[in-house]
Structure 1
Amino acid sequence: MLKKHINEPQTVPGGATQSLKHESGRLHVSGKATYIDDIPTPANVVHVVPGLSTKAHARIVSMDLEPVKNFPGVLCVLTAQDVLGENQVSPVGAGDEPLLATDEVFYYGQPIFAVVAETRLAARKAARKAKIVYEDLPAVLSVEEARQKGGDMVCRPLEMVRGNAESALENAPKRLSGRITVGGQEQFYLEGQAALATPGEEGEMRICSSTQHPTETQHMVAHILNRPSNLVTLEVRRMGGGFGGKETQANAPACLAALAAEITQRPAKCRLDRDDDMIMTGKRHDFVIDYDVGFDAQGHIQGADMLLAARCGWSADLSGPVTDRALFHADNAYYYPDVRLRSEPFRTNTQSNTAFRGFGGPQGIAAAERVVEEIAFATGLDPLDVRLRNTYGTQDKNITPYFMTVEDSISREIMEQLAEECDYRKRREELRAFNRTSQYIRRGIALTPVKFGISFTATHFNQAGALVHVYTDGSVQVNHGGTEMGQGLHTKMVQIAMREFGLPENRVRITATTTGKVPNTSATAASSGADLNGMAVLDAISKIKERLISFAATHWQAPESTVHFGANGVQVGENCIPFVDVVKAAYMARVSLSSSGFYKTPKISWDPKTGRGRPFYYFAYGAACAEVAVDLLTGENRMERVDILHDAGQSLNPILDIGQIEGGFIQGAGWLTMEELVWDQTGRLRTHAPSTYKIPACSDRPPIFNVKLLENSPNREETIFRSKAVGEPPFVHGLAVLHAISDAIASIADYRICPQLDAPATPEQILRTVERLKKQKDMPH
């Protein structure tokens, strides 16, 4: 039954594969959408604000909290001794992430205590009254320092080996090596970390949280309170953005709110100030990547060796799977005949870096694209030609470094189609002609691909549940384990129900995600939200439909094969009966109109011990062409035109998917060109507010911005209606901008020297690169 629905799409107006508007769009623009801080505050609510360390690494000698407790409006101050259960919020069970510090602090901004007060302002002011005496300990702030001091790692490193990279490098006609540094990135969600906890009877605790992982947050609260999960209910209606920053980082605010609620027996709210949020929480991992590559004069890669080192922060968090995924994507769309890839997840005394859209994949892909660029300059070839010559494709070029077979590589076709449609080669020659006569403004162009694996690399997360109710008035309620953070996941789930039951939009209602309805949820991450939850919703609906089909066939005396659900009602033999009439009749006949659904991703497996397996169900593909202008006097740059061709399979909702591609691209371009994280020598994050951390604004978008979905390209795997994930892959398109800037700068040395432009390509970074190239061009080669 399930396979039939997938392979035989229907055409219900507004249903799945149609461009239905976002289910909360009107609420968003009118200000009526309810976020945590919009929930009507209970009359007796208390407010929770954490007190943060002011040292990167130190022993706590003494802590005087009496001035905090005595501040007007303060009810109590929570420390590690007040935790009722286990003082741990490590998402991977590493035991290295206390909710509140005890004897030692490991980064500037680590929560040590929490103030519980009648007002948020009182709590914030009181938190600054603490008198803490520290004994400084050695602090490690960067990858370089970590290596110099022995290289303590937060988790096990990973190595992937296929063939003999050392021999291939030694025997290659040409060989080069280099290093690329790729900066981190703040998630900068519009809604900060927030939670509202309400105690109930007999130990119950209800929490409204801005989290991407309701079940994990539920479990953390249960551990902190020392009670079973069935007493803790976690609810999420929507988030004002997540981008991975609320996959694990939402746990601490929820736990602090729950602990305060339990101790005071009053509702408790924890909403982090933006500065505290940025200082406390983890970000995208920054990487230092060393590469060694062998190739021939035609640009064919023969061997590659890469070492990817990451600044992971003070605790494990998700650094293991993040650095793993960086290795998974260090090939991007390219086949390496002989390859060795290694990770170094270094422990540092900085925020514990965490999930961010792409989850390490973009950093690995940045390394692959730098390698291609280096080869292009070394051979004098167009970088696009080097890309086309090395893509996965034929049977002798389809095995990844982790031994997964790439069965459907379409990178070459997408790049060729995009190059033709955007007139890449002609424009490239025109830009080079412009640069020959322009003294200060240089223009560049680049076309880069993306091949992105879709699935959690932690195999057990590739499962989802759903709960669907059909009421006797013919309306439908859909519940699932995914969370809505603006990406349109709920809208797509509504469309699945509309399509399957033949109903209009106003007859299907999505509810808040809650662990009380769908337990044991996986995080809404890894671009798997629609894949997993869509199939779970379809499974639940299919069970209900099977019952209704059997009932209708019997009740109206027609073969089951003649029963179909459509926009005009349920076709039963020669009769078309309104859906509501079928439902009412089924209820009167005691037919169940509710069902749970479940789905687990097939075919996947992964063994980190051997570095082999099939960690991904399928790959999503795409390509972007960016044209930029660079001012050699100021280092400023601007995007002038961007063309994107992206593979979303059989899109569930084209308009939402295009929106995701546009947003993902801009966020990726921001990461690579302007978003810069800066720590001072004490380990204090100096870019901790909108005044010091720059993200792209509306004026930064390219004036010519063409985004197109690849046509006639349904997913070859049995995903929900043959669609493909579209959350994370488009982020990588931002690399086209970095390489276009590099192309513009390369004109200084007549395109003979690879600029080796690191990210983020801020004006300062661009000027440094320009000056280096000016010196290099006059050196003998």
Structure 2
Amino acid sequence: MPDAALPVPTISAIDGAVHSPRPHESAHKHVSGEAVYIDDIAEPAGLLHVALGLSAKAHARVTALDLSRVRAAPGVAVVVTAADVPGVNDIGYMGKGDEPLFASDLVQHVGQPLFAVAAHTRDQARRAAALADVTYEDLPAILTIAAARDGERTLVTAPMTLTVGDSAAALAEAPRRLDGRLAVGGQEHFYLESQIALAIPGEDEEVLVHVSTQHPTEVQHIVAHILHVPNGAVTVEVRRMGGGFGGKETQANLFAACAALIAKKTGRAAKLRPDRDDDFQITGKRHDFEIDYAVGFTDEGLVTGVEMLFAARAGYAADLSGPVTDRALFHADNCYHYPAARLESLPLKTNTVSNTAFRGFGGPQGMVAAERVIDEIAFALGADPLTIRKRNFYGVEDRNLTPYHQIVADNIIPELVAELEADCGYWERRAAIRAHNARSRILKKGLALTPVKFGISFTATHYNQAGALVHVYTDGSVQVNHGGTEMGQGLHTKVAQIVAEEFQIDIAQVRPTATTTGKVPNTSATAASSGTDLNGKAAQNAARAIKERLAAFAAERWGVAADAVVFAPGRIQAGDQSMSFPELVRAAYMARVQLSATGFYKTPKIHWDRAAGRGTPFFYYAYGAACSEVTVDTLTGEYVVDRVDILHDCGRSLNPAIDKGQIEGGFVQGMGWLTMEELWWDGQGRLRTHAPSTYKIPACGDRPRVFNVRLLDNAPNREDSVFRSKAVGEPPFMLGMSVLHALSDAVASVADHRFCPQLDAPATPERVLATIGRLRARAAGV
């Protein structure tokens, strides 16, 4: 396991601050219904409800837009179109001008907003929006990756290539070679709270926007852009979200901008909460990919060279497709060393909704490709996939360079996998499953153990910064505000723990407040698993500034050296003087000591040159592994997940209870993506899986029957993260790959494991059954 001699900062003895399983600060309010979400905010007098009028065509010119019936509908106060935007009609993240708030003469996907209508009630607004008369001139629509690849290959943003070594020569000289294609489906975010924004007009140019977003500063900029006002005139506030998963990183821009536009135009508060079906149609998803791969390897299963092309359905606009497809390349190695590699992205333009961030941000798609390659090698050699995985792990010295030329300096995956392998009884269960399958004609079992290595940091280096604001009040209570947003992941709880630890006070004395651009400006998105790393460090920086002032005051007041002032659990000792935190604070206030501070943090050591494809984009890596066992009904393709064992690396966990919850939730969401969540568009570009009735996410009955989750012990982060913890938002998501490969193992048994099933994702029962049929036909020589 990791070197126990690594330097670790001194941790105080106070119980219940960091490294302890504290409950989520809003958990009791979540279960009781007391937690206030945006739709629960008391509605201001005169509130207008907003609905959007959406395109019915995937690609067409709008030759006429008659809104007279909309304006005449009962309760309607105002209707706005692109012509009513006082600023620039663009809400796109990349600033390319390719994502209008309202389409005018051209629509590029079904569900693209054409106008908005505000009425006295939500029902009136929705009914009015359906009355628009739109005349279209149809244009050719490209809806699939295949159609985009076979056509002109229009890209929404510049592709990226990563190279290490000479992959062409490595493939040509390899003792063995395999080529293939893998299809990986997209995923709907399905946050419990839909997109929503409430805008309240203020004096002059000012507007306050309550919006469910992971990136308040981006919303602030977009709203200011639309309204043609300074950024400082727009205040964006987020107390909590009912889930985000990446779907509220850029997608909230449209809803906030529309509500703010109507609020300023009418002088009345405006709220926009789309119906779930509309939310599905309007907002982007996880990118689906088609990945071409070629791998050269030795007779022992060692990879000698790899080439991969990642073609993604990006949708009609750039959004985050560039960074997402970049990160797919960054993680196309997962835990495996490629001596020579060429990895290329292809973000293809299609006439579908513009795809966006989703937990893992392209990394999961890259990792699935890596695991397929390993499986292909294992089947070609007749070896157990775990054996081939372990043989190709990153090592030391000449086996630690990634395709983007970062050295993997903190590698613990061999030890972690060995520990899980022993704990879950992998080899004993493997033998038992083979015996079961030999005697069971219909129900086949499968087993797989897959690893995870996930890089932590934004690959856009400038996002790796955060600010915080800490106030200490004269009664000893503390308020903390930071740039991160709370979406159920426990960020506010962890930041409160960090501040409590610094002051050595009970966490009950620390109150996290709503994220607002009016307190902490220029925030980064709460994404890339960096929420606690960045904002926790910024809050710690602010708390330490106040703590240093208090220590200096105490030293002067009681005539002791500054280092003789000790913050102990619940008490401060200054020489012979002992006092509580509130007592010290009151004394400091009377002596006119500043009790408020801003904090700032920027991630060190990282740099990235995209054009060259080289650098150190990640501060550190988070590791994990999962072993999954499944049973497949070969007559129907249906299956159950019998058992899952997870061992995950959280460094020195700030809050084991919250981290365990993130691991469990991330795993189940990842499993859902790879097994049952299927997006389906028809030939006209209409999303047919647009509601809970047609889009299936994991439910209680889909959970593993036995679910064992454990945090890796004695594994502090080697980098100076906040109290040597590690990020836990995205890395566990990829643990769900073990279920896909366990299904593949079960399916392969119908042909005595002679052929790689090449099971694409999502591995729905229909796809599993079709793959079983294909393998049986191949085994029979048909």
TM-score w.r.t. the length of structure 2 is 0.99
Give the equivalent residue in structure 1 for 2:352: 350
3-state SS in 2 of match to 1:385? helix
Give the equivalent residue in structure 2 for 1:486: 488
Gaps (5+ residues) in structure 2?
A: 1-6
Q: Which of 633, 636, 645 lines up with 2:635 in the alignment?
A: 633
Q: Which of 100, 121, 126 lines up with 1:119 in the alignment?
A: 121
Per-residue CA shift, 1:531-576, capped at 9, x if unaligned? 0000000000010011111110111112211212122311112332
Q: Which of 284, 295, 302 lines up with 1:300 in the alignment?
A: 302
Give the equivalent residue in structure 1 for 2:323: 321
Question: What amino acid is aligned across from residue 676 of structure 2 in structure 1?
Answer: M
For residues 601-612 of structure 1, the aligned pairs below 5 Å read: 601-612=603-614
* Structure 1 position 11, deviation (Å): 2.5
Q: Which of 758, 778, 781 lines up with 1:779 in the alignment?
A: 781
Gaps (5+ residues) in structure 1?
A: none
Question: What amino acid is aligned across from residue 146 of structure 1 in structure 2?
Answer: A
Question: Is the CA contact (8 Å cut-off) linking 2:8 and 2:716 kept in structure 1?
Answer: no
Give the equivalent residue in structure 2 for 1:543: 545
Per-residue CA shift, 1:674-727, capped at 9, x if unaligned? 000000000000000000000000111112100000000000000000000000
Question: Is the CA contact (8 Å cut-off) linking 1:568 and 1:576 kept in structure 2?
Answer: no
Give the equivalent residue in structure 2 for 1:387: 389
* Structure 1 position 8, deviation (Å): 1.5
Give the equivalent residue in structure 2 for 1:283: 285
3-state SS in 2 of match to 1:203? coil
Question: What amino acid is aligned across from residue 666 of structure 1 in structure 2?
Answer: V
For residues 541-620 of structure 1, the aligned pairs below 5 Å read: 541-620=543-622
Distance (Å, rounded) in 2 between the aligned partners of 1:60 and 1:621: 50
Distance (Å, rounded) in 2 between the aligned partners of 1:603 and 1:236: 31
Distance (Å, rounded) in 1 between the aligned partners of 2:187 and 2:570: 50
Q: Which of 405, 422, 425 lines up with 2:424 in the alignment?
A: 422
* Structure 1 position 496, deviation (Å): 0.7
For residues 144-293 of structure 1, the aligned pairs below 5 Å read: 144-293=146-295
Distance (Å, rounded) in 2 between the aligned partners of 1:460 and 1:7: 27
Q: Which of 309, 312, 318 lines up with 1:310 in the alignment?
A: 312
Question: What amino acid is aligned across from residue 288 of structure 2 in structure 1?
Answer: D
Distance (Å, rounded) in 1 between the aligned partners of 2:184 and 2:295: 19
* Structure 1 position 476, deviation (Å): 0.3
For residues 487-502 of structure 1, the aligned pairs below 5 Å read: 487-502=489-504
Question: What amino acid is aligned across from residue 278 of structure 1 in structure 2?
Answer: F
Distance (Å, rounded) in 1 between the aligned partners of 2:687 and 2:237: 32
Alignment coverage as a number of residue pairs = 777
Question: Is the CA contact (8 Å cut-off) linking 2:405 and 2:616 kept in structure 1?
Answer: yes
Question: What amino acid is aligned across from residue 735 of structure 2 in structure 1?
Answer: H
* Structure 1 position 140, deviation (Å): 0.5
Q: Which of 438, 461, 470 lines up with 2:472 in the alignment?
A: 470
Question: Is the CA contact (8 Å cut-off) linking 1:11 and 1:499 kept in structure 2?
Answer: no
Distance (Å, rounded) in 1 between the aligned partners of 2:504 and 2:705: 40
Give the equivalent residue in structure 1 for 2:136: 134
* Structure 1 position 203, deviation (Å): 1.5
Give the equivalent residue in structure 2 for 1:406: 408
Question: What amino acid is aligned across from residue 524 of structure 1 in structure 2?
Answer: T
Q: Which of 663, 666, 686 lines up with 1:664 in the alignment?
A: 666
Question: Is the CA contact (8 Å cut-off) linking 1:6 and 1:720 kept in structure 2?
Answer: no
Distance (Å, rounded) in 2 between the aligned partners of 1:506 and 1:764: 51
3-state SS in 2 of match to 1:755? coil
Distance (Å, rounded) in 1 between the aligned partners of 2:714 and 2:13: 16
* Structure 1 position 343, deviation (Å): 0.5
* Structure 1 position 16, deviation (Å): 1.1
3-state SS in 2 of match to 1:627? strand
3-state SS in 1 of match to 2:312? strand
Give the equivalent residue in structure 2 for 1:438: 440
* Structure 1 position 408, deviation (Å): 1.2
Distance (Å, rounded) in 2 between the aligned partners of 1:340 and 1:437: 44
3-state SS in 2 of match to 1:477? strand
Q: Which of 670, 680, 683 lines up with 2:682 in the alignment?
A: 680
Question: Is the CA contact (8 Å cut-off) linking 2:20 and 2:655 kept in structure 1?
Answer: yes
TM-score w.r.t. the length of structure 1 is 0.99
Question: Is the CA contact (8 Å cut-off) linking 1:440 and 1:632 kept in structure 2?
Answer: yes
Question: Is the CA contact (8 Å cut-off) linking 2:444 and 2:747 kept in structure 1?
Answer: yes
2:510 equivalent to 1:508: yes
Per-residue CA shift, 1:344-378, capped at 9, x if unaligned? 00000001000000000000000000000000000
* Structure 1 position 384, deviation (Å): 0.5
Distance (Å, rounded) in 2 between the aligned partners of 1:666 and 1:171: 41
Distance (Å, rounded) in 2 between the aligned partners of 1:506 and 1:170: 64
Question: What amino acid is aligned across from residue 197 of structure 1 in structure 2?
Answer: A
Question: Is the CA contact (8 Å cut-off) linking 1:55 and 1:108 kept in structure 2?
Answer: yes
Question: Is the CA contact (8 Å cut-off) linking 1:679 and 1:685 kept in structure 2?
Answer: yes
* Structure 1 position 279, deviation (Å): 0.4
Question: What amino acid is aligned across from residue 545 of structure 1 in structure 2?
Answer: K
3-state SS in 2 of match to 1:7? coil
Per-residue CA shift, 1:294-338, capped at 9, x if unaligned? 001111000000001000000000000000000000000000001
Distance (Å, rounded) in 1 between the aligned partners of 2:307 and 2:94: 29
Distance (Å, rounded) in 1 between the aligned partners of 2:564 and 2:706: 51
Distance (Å, rounded) in 2 between the aligned partners of 1:191 and 1:507: 29
CA RMSD of aligned residues (A): 1.0
Give the equivalent residue in structure 1 for 2:3: none
* Structure 1 position 609, deviation (Å): 0.4
Distance (Å, rounded) in 1 between the aligned partners of 2:458 and 2:254: 23
* Structure 1 position 505, deviation (Å): 2.3
Question: What amino acid is aligned across from residue 586 of structure 2 in structure 1?
Answer: K
Question: What amino acid is aligned across from residue 279 of structure 1 in structure 2?
Answer: Q
* Structure 1 position 6, deviation (Å): 7.2
* Segment of structure 1 superposing worse, 555-564 or 217-226: 555-564
Question: Is the CA contact (8 Å cut-off) linking 1:12 and 1:498 kept in structure 2?
Answer: no
Question: Is the CA contact (8 Å cut-off) linking 1:209 and 1:250 kept in structure 2?
Answer: yes
Per-residue CA shift, 1:66-125, capped at 9, x if unaligned? 011100001111100001111000111111000000100000000000011111100001
* Structure 1 position 641, deviation (Å): 0.2
Question: Is the CA contact (8 Å cut-off) linking 1:627 and 1:639 kept in structure 2?
Answer: yes
Give the equivalent residue in structure 2 for 1:19: 21
3-state SS in 1 of match to 2:335? coil
* Structure 1 position 42, deviation (Å): 1.1
Question: Is the CA contact (8 Å cut-off) linking 1:476 and 1:509 kept in structure 2?
Answer: yes
* Structure 1 position 588, deviation (Å): 0.9
Question: Is the CA contact (8 Å cut-off) linking 2:52 and 2:117 kept in structure 1?
Answer: yes
Question: What amino acid is aligned across from residue 129 of structure 1 in structure 2?
Answer: L
3-state SS in 2 of match to 1:34? coil
Distance (Å, rounded) in 1 between the aligned partners of 2:761 and 2:568: 52
2:716 equivalent to 1:714: yes
2:625 equivalent to 1:623: yes
Give the equivalent residue in structure 1 for 2:4: none
Q: Which of 694, 697, 708 lines up with 1:695 in the alignment?
A: 697
* Structure 1 position 43, deviation (Å): 2.0
Distance (Å, rounded) in 2 between the aligned partners of 1:573 and 1:707: 46
Distance (Å, rounded) in 2 between the aligned partners of 1:16 and 1:273: 40
Per-residue CA shift, 1:471-516, capped at 9, x if unaligned? 0111100000000000000000110111111111221100000000
Distance (Å, rounded) in 1 between the aligned partners of 2:348 and 2:269: 40
Question: What amino acid is aligned across from residue 672 of structure 1 in structure 2?
Answer: L
3-state SS in 2 of match to 1:374? helix
Question: Is the CA contact (8 Å cut-off) linking 1:48 and 1:117 kept in structure 2?
Answer: yes
